[in-house]
Amino acid sequence: MSTLKKGYSILYQWLFHRDDRLLLIIAGSVAGICSGLAAVALRLSLQTVLEWLHPFRHYGWAFVLPAVGALLSSLYLEKIAREGAGHGVPEVIYAVSRYGGLLRFRSSYSRLISSFLTIGSGGSAGPEAPVVMSGSAIGSNIAKFLSLNERQRITLVGCGTAGAIASIFNAPIAGLVFAIEVILGEWKFVNIIPIAIAAVAGAEVSQAIIPEQVIFNHQTFQVGLLDILPSLCLALVTALVSVVFTKTLQQSGKIARTSSFPLWVRAVFGGCIVGTIGIFMPVVLGEGYHFIQEMISGTFSLGVFITFVAVFAKIFATAMTLGWGGSGGIFAPCLVIGSLTGIVFHKFLLILLPSVGCAREGAYALLGMTGIISGVMQAPLTGIFLIVEITGGYEMTLPLIVVSSISSTMSHYIEPASFYFKDLIERGQFLRPGTDARILSDLNISELIETRYTKVSGNMVFREFIEIIKTSRQNFFPVIDDRTNEYKGMVKISAIRKYVLDPGMYDMIFLSQIMDTEVMTVSLENDLQEVLEIMDINGMETIPVVEHDRFVGMISKTRILDLYRRELIVQTSAH
Amino acid sequence: MNYKLLHIFRNTPFGRETFLQSLYFCKTINAFPLAYIPRSDKFLLYFSNDAVQVDLDHSYLTSPDTAKSNAEKLFEEMGTKPMFYEPKNFTASSLPDISTNFDYLCCPRSVSDMSSKIGLGHIGPRVRRIIKHATFPVLITSPVFKPWKSISVFFGGSKNALTALTLGLKIALASGLPLDIYTLLEKQDEAYYRELIEKEGLDEPVTQLSRQWFFYEKAHFDTMLYDVPHNSLIVLGAYGHGIIKDLLLGSKMEQIQSTVMNNLLITGPHCSMSLQ
C-alpha cells in the first residue's frame, strides 16, 4: 500500500509540481468546457425567449417588453445577486491586473441571468461580455479550488474567457486572441497552450450540443485589389463611428448616474425608449445576429437612408440599454453597427461610382464589423480573427487587416483609451504586466521598509549621540519622545557637522534642539507611486515612514530600485 | 508596534455597542482603531486565494449624515484619536475593495443579517469565510459593550490552537491582564499538552504570563464554558468551515459562540502569530 502511495506521490510531483504545464492544460480544459457550457446555455435560452416573444413584437404595447426585462435584470443584479454595476469585461481586467485574477463565484452565473433578462426582452446588448465574465469567474474559481498560485490563476481566467468566446461564436482562434489581447495583455508561451486548448474545448462543446446552429453561415466573396482603396475609406468611417459609439455609451452612463432615480426606474426608462425605437426599427432590438446574417448574405432590404439612421439608432439604443441599468456587452452591438456601417458605405459607393467593380455588400458588412470591433475595443487582432472565423471569409484577410489596423489606429488618435480600458485608466487601475505602474503596485510598501534603525531620544545630550554615531552606519536617526514613544523629527548626520566640529557644544545641546521637524514623512496607507512622487518633489533619497505618530522605518530609493528590478524579472520572465 | 483594527461602523445603538467594544479592545492592547463608514451596502475583501463579498444589511447605512459625528463622539468618549478608513480601489462603482492589510478586524457575529438574529447564536457565512481566509485575528464582539478583565484561551492542541495561544499570550503581554488556559481532554492527557507547548517553545511565556491552566474531561465541555469568567476575552482557533461541514462534523466555535456571550477573538487557519 505504501509503495502504491509513494508511486502516486512521485507521479503527482512529476506531472504537476516539477512543471505545471500539464496541470494548466487539464484545468484549462475543464475551465474551457464549463465556460463553453455556460455560453451555450445562454445562447439557447436567448434564442428560445426571442422566438417566443417574436409574435408579440408588432403590438403597440410591445414597447414595454425591453423595459420589463431591464427592470427584472436590474432588480436581480441589485437585490438578489448584489453585484456592482458594470459591463463585466473591465471588472475581469481589473481583477487580473490588481488581484491576480480573483473573481467571486457569484459572477459565474449572475451576469448570465441578468443579460438573459435584458437581451431576451429586446434590450440592445450582446451576450458575449456576460459569458466572458462567467467564463473568467469559472476559471478563477477552479484555480481557487485547486489552490493554484496567482500566475496559474490568471492563466485559468484566460482559459475561461477563451472557452466562452470560442463557444458563443464557434471561433477558437478568436477566443484565444481575445483572451490574450484584451484580458491578459501579455503573450507568454506558458499561457498560450492552455488557453488555446480551452478555446478548442469551448468550441467543441458548442459544436457537440448545437451543431446545426452556426451563428453566421459561411459565404464566399470575390475581393480584389479594387477593394483596397474603398477599404481604407471604410476604415476611416468605422473609426469615426467607433468613437461616436464609445462616447455615446460613456455619456449615457454618466447622465444616468447623475439622476437621483433608483436603478430600476432608470432601467425601465431606458427599456421604454429602446422598445419605442424597436417598434419602428426592429434591427436595434436584442443581440441582432439575425440581421447580421441578412446583411452578410445580401438579403437586408432597408434603403440607404433608413440603414444610415439605423446605425445611430442602434448606437443610441445600446447606450440606453447599458447606460441606464440593463445588463450585457457591446460585442454584438459592435457587430450590428459595423455591418450596418459597411452596408451604408457600400450603397454610397455604388451611388457615387456605379461602375466600380467592388465586392458584394456582404463583404463590406464584414469589413465594417472588423472596423467597429477594432475601433471600439482597440484590439485589431480580435477583430480580424473573429470575422475570418465566424464567416469563413479567408479570402478577405487582406482588406480585413487594412480596415482593422487603420480603424484601431485612427480611433486611438481621437480616443486614446478603448471602451474596456477607459474607466480603468481614469481610475489609475489599468495595470498591464511589465509596466511601471503594475510593478510599483505589486510591490508591497511594508517589504520596502528598513526597520533596523536606532532611535534616539529628544532629551539625549549631544555627547551621548556622538558615542552612538561612532559605532553606527546610519545617516538618519529618528527622534522619539521618551514618554509617549511618538516620532518627533529626524537628525541627519549631514546637517550636524558644525556641532561635531565644536566639542564645546557637546554638553550644551540636546537632540530636540537640532533635529529636523520638517522632514516629509509617509504612512503605510500611501502607495508606492505616491511615496516616489513625494521623494521626487522634495529631492529625498530616503523617507521616514510614520504611522499614527510612531516611527515604523525608512524607505530608500536604493531599496525600491532593488525590489523593482526583482519584480520586473519575475513579471517578464518566460514563466 | 502599530497594530491596527478595522471596524465596520454601524450607525445604530447595536453598532455603538460593538464599536465601543472595538475601541476598548484597542485601548487595552495599545492598538489603533480605524472606522470604516460604508457608503454602499457591499464591499469586497481580497485575500490571497479568495475574494469575499460582504453584503451588509441596511442598518449599516442608517443616517449617513450623522454616522461620522457619532463615531467621532465614541472615539472621544474612549479618549482615542478619530481615524477613518477610506477605500482607495473599487471593483465596480458601488463595490469598494477594503484593504486586508490590518492586524485585527472587528465583525459582529453576522455582517449580513439583521442584528435581531445575532441573539440566536448564529455566525453568518461571510464571517466564516473571513475567518477562513484572514491572515489576521477576527474580533467577534458581545452584543452589549462589556469591558473584559482577563483573557481565556481555549487550547485544544491543534495548529490553530497554538496560534490562538500565542495570540492570547501577546494580548496578555500588551494589556497586562491575567491569562487562563482551558483545555478539554479529548484523546490525550495533560502531559501531552504540556509537552506540546514545550516543543513549540511556549512553555516559558505560558509559565510567566498565565494565571492558571484548567483541564476538563471531554464530557464536561459545558462546565468548562460555564467556568469561563463572564468578563473575559475568549481567544480560540477555528477552521472557518462552511455551514454544511459544520452540520456534518460539528463545530466547536459554533457551540462556544452560541453558549457564551463573551467577546471572542478568533484565529483562522491562515493566521500566523509570533510573540515578537
- The C-alpha atoms of residue B260 and residue B141 are separated, in whole angstroms, by 11
Is the same domain home to A403 and A450?
no
Task: Name residue B265's beta-bridge partners.
Answer: B139, B235
B152 strand-pairing partners: B180, B234
Give residue B111's pLDDT. 56
> What's the pLDDT tens digit per position in A389-438?
877 767 788 888 999 999 999 999 998 888 888 888 888 888 887 788 88
B-chain CB neighbours of A85 within 8 Å are 92-94
Confidence bin at A575 (pLDDT 50/70/90): low
Percent of chain B topping pLDDT 90: 28
Q: Which domain holds residue A312?
A: 232-423
In a domain, A361, yes or no: yes
Q: How confident is the model at residue B109 (pLDDT cuts 50, 70, 90)?
A: low
- The answer for A328, left when phi > 0, alpha when psi is -120 to 50, beta otherwise, is left
Residues facing residue A461 across a β-bridge: A510
* Position A177 in a domain: yes
Is there a contact between A95 and B51 if contact means CB atoms under 8 Å apart? yes
Q: What are the residues whose beta carbons fall under 8 Å from the beta carbon of B116, sequence distance 6 or more?
A: none
Q: In terms of domains, do A306 and A449 share one?
A: no
Same domain flag for A153 and A249: no
The reply to whether A181 and A84 lie within a common domain is: yes
Check whether B178 has a pLDDT greater than 90.
Answer: yes
**CA distances for B198 relative to A339, B192, B201, B202, angstroms:** 76, 10, 5, 6
Q: How many domains does chain A have?
A: 3
Put the strands of the sheet holding B264-267 in their side by side order: B32-36, B4-8, B104-107, B138-140, B264-267, B232-237, B150-154, B179-185, B210-217
- Among A423, A449, A482, the domain-final residue is A423
**A222 in a structural domain:** no
Task: Give domain status of residue A432, yes or no.
Answer: no
- Is there a common fold for B4-140 and B150-267? yes
Distance (Å, whole) CA A347 – CA A424: 38
**Inter-chain residue contact B92 with A83, CB threshold 8 Å:** yes
| Complex-level ipTM | 0.81
Partner residues linked to B180 by β-bridges: B152, B212
A91 within some domain: yes
Is the CB of residue A525 less than 8 Å from the CB of residue A504?
Answer: no
Nearest to B91 among A84, A524, A547 (CB): A84
Domain boundaries along the sequence of chain B: 4-140, 150-267
Amino acid identity for residue A148 in this structure? L
Contact between B225 and B259 (Cβ < 8 Å): yes
Interface of A with B in 535-554 (CB under 8 A): 547-548, 550, 552
- Answer yes or no: do A416 and A486 share one domain: no
pLDDT per residue as tens digits for the range A96-116 = 988 889 999 989 999 999 999
Interchain proximity B93–A527, CB inside 8 Å: no
pLDDT over 60 at B245, yes or no: no
Least confident of A71-85, B86-100, B236-250: B236-250
Question: Cell triple for residue B94?
Answer: 458601488
Say yes or no: A244 and A381 in one domain.
yes
Residue B163 CA to residue B149 CA, distance in Å, equals 21
Amino acid type, B32: F
A172 lies in the same domain as A295: no
What are the residue ranges of helices labelled H in A326-461?
Answer: 331-352, 361-377, 380-391, 397-414, 419-426, 436-442, 445-448
Which residues touch A415 (CB under 8 Å, ≥6 apart)? A242, A243, A246, A247, A422
A81 DSSP 8-state letter: S
Q: Which fold has domain B4-140?
A: Rossmann fold (3.40.50)
DSSP one-letter string for A167-221: HHHT-HHHHHHHIIIIII----HHHHHHHHHHHHHHHHHHHHH-TT--SS-----
**Does residue A57 sit in helix, strand or coil?**
coil
Q: How far is B268 from chain A (nearest CA, A)?
A: 17
Torsions phi, psi for B217 (to 5 deg) = -70, 155
pLDDT 10s digits, A206-245: 989 887 666 677 677 777 777 888 899 999 999 999 999 9
Selecting from B49, B53, B55 the residue whose C-beta is nearest the C-beta of A147 gives B49
Residues of B with a Cβ under 8 Å from any A Cβ are: 2, 4, 32, 41-42, 44, 46, 49-51, 53, 55, 81, 83, 88-95, 97, 101
Please tell me whether residues A458 and A531 are part of one structural domain. Answer: yes
Which homologous superfamily is B150-267 in?
A: HUPs (3.40.50.620)
Q: Please provide residue B232's backbone torsions phi and psi, each rounded to the nearest 5 degrees.
A: -120, 145
C-beta of residue B36 within 8 angstroms of C-beta of residue B84: yes
Residues A357 and A419 in one domain: yes
Q: Is B23 exposed, middle or buried (0-12, 13-18, 19+ CB in 10 A)?
A: buried
Q: Per-residue b/e over A32-56, b at no fewer than 16 CB within 10 Å?
A: bbbbbbbbbbbbebbbebbeebeee
In single-letter form, the type of residue at position B232 comes to S
Q: How many CA atoms within 13 Å lie on the side-chain side of A165?
A: 35
**A20 found inside a domain:** yes
Looking at residue A574, its pLDDT comes to: 54
User: Of the candidates A83, A102, A429, which has its C-beta nearest B51's C-beta?
Assistant: A102
CATH number at A474 reads 3.10.580.10
CATH number of the domain at A172, please: 1.10.3080.10
Question: How many pairs of residues across A and B have Cβ atoms under 8 Å apart?
Answer: 55
- Clarify whether residues A286 and A386 are in a common domain: yes
In this structure, what C-alpha cell is assigned to residue A444? 508591497
- A218 within domain boundaries: no
A414 and A276 share a domain? yes
